[in-house]
């Protein structure tokens, strides 16, 4: 008995590929390529090649590079400053034009003690000296004068400290002497008052004696005249 023939079932067509699958495949391939490209670097140490020793002539006088001399000459030409005399002359001309004067204040004679521009004078005027200094001096001169004043101030301060610390025993002894003299002078006030009264009495007595002296001399002269007259009458 023959089995009935089963009809063949037609094959089902495949669906089109999904776009998500293509994206995942592309990302996987990109990841694999990236991981392949990022590999552990191999450190390669290059051994230095020995250089042949140079001769003495080459070591003492190295030959410059071809462009070094040209560059150095260009730098020297471009960095050459103008002469200082030209700067000073231009600055003096500007100061003359604006009426500021030329150069620092002129030095003053040391013998004039009443000079207001002399730092050691009793008539020194700091305001006038400052105004004259800033109007007639250049910036380097002002900086130099500042350094000189700072040096002088430090020197005077050190001298003052040395005077105090090195002679403090003498200063203490002098203060003790002055206090003792003051105490003794206060105790002598009574004696001075008595002495003043005695001198006043002496002056009064001297004035009385000087007043009585002319009358006494006149009395003596009159007595002498009378005696002469009586002697003359008796002779006659």
Would 149 be classed as within a structural domain?
yes
Please tell me which residue, 21 or 235, carries the higher pLDDT value. 21
Would 134 be classed as within a structural domain?
yes
pLDDT at 41 > cutoff 60: no
d(CA 30, CA 43): 27
What are the pLDDT digits (tens) for 167-206?
A: 788 888 889 999 999 888 888 888 888 899 999 999 999 9
What are the pLDDT digits (tens) for 48-89?
A: 555 554 444 444 444 445 455 555 455 544 456 556 566 677
Would 108 be classed as within a structural domain?
no
Query: What per-residue confidence (pLDDT) applies to 200?
Result: 92
Would 37 be classed as within a structural domain?
no
Would 40 be classed as within a structural domain?
no
Q: How many domains does the chain have?
A: 1
Stretch among 89-93, 124-128, 171-175 having the lowest mean pLDDT: 89-93
Would 11 be classed as within a structural domain?
no
Would 230 be classed as within a structural domain?
no
Choose the most confident range, by mean pLDDT, from 9-18, 79-88, 112-121, 161-170. 161-170
Q: Note down the domain range covering 143.
A: 115-210
Would 189 be classed as within a structural domain?
yes
Query: What per-residue confidence (pLDDT) applies to 170?
Result: 82
């Amino acid at each position: 008995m023959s089995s009935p023939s089963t009809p063949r079932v037609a094959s089902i067509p495949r669906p089109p590929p999904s776009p998500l699958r293509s994206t995942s495949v592309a990302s996987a391939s990109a990841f694999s390529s990236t991981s392949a490209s990022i590999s552990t670097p191999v450190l390669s140490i290059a051994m230095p090649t020995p250089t042949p020793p140079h001769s003495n002539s080459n070591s003492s006088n190295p030959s410059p590079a071809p462009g070094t001399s040209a560059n150095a000459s260009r730098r020297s030409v471009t960095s050459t400053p103008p002469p200082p005399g030209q700067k000073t002359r231009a600055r003096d001309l500007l100061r003359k034009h604006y009426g500021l004067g030329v150069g620092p204040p002129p030095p003053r004679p040391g013998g004039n003690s009443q000079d207001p521009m002399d730092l050691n004078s009793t008539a020194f005027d700091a305001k006038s000296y400052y105004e004259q200094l800033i109007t007639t001096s250049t910036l380097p001169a002002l900086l130099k004068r500042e350094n000189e004043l700072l040096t002088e101030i430090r020197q005077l301060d050190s001298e003052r400290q040395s005077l105090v610390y090195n002679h403090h025993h003498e200063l203490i002894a002098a203060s003790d002497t002055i206090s003792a003299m003051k105490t003794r002078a206060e105790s002598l006030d009574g004696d001075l008052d008595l002495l003043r009264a005695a001198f006043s009495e002496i002056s009064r007595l001297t004035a009385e004696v000087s007043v009585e002296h002319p009358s006494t001399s006149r009395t003596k002269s009159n007595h002498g005249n009378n005696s002469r007259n009586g002697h003359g009458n008796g002779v006659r």
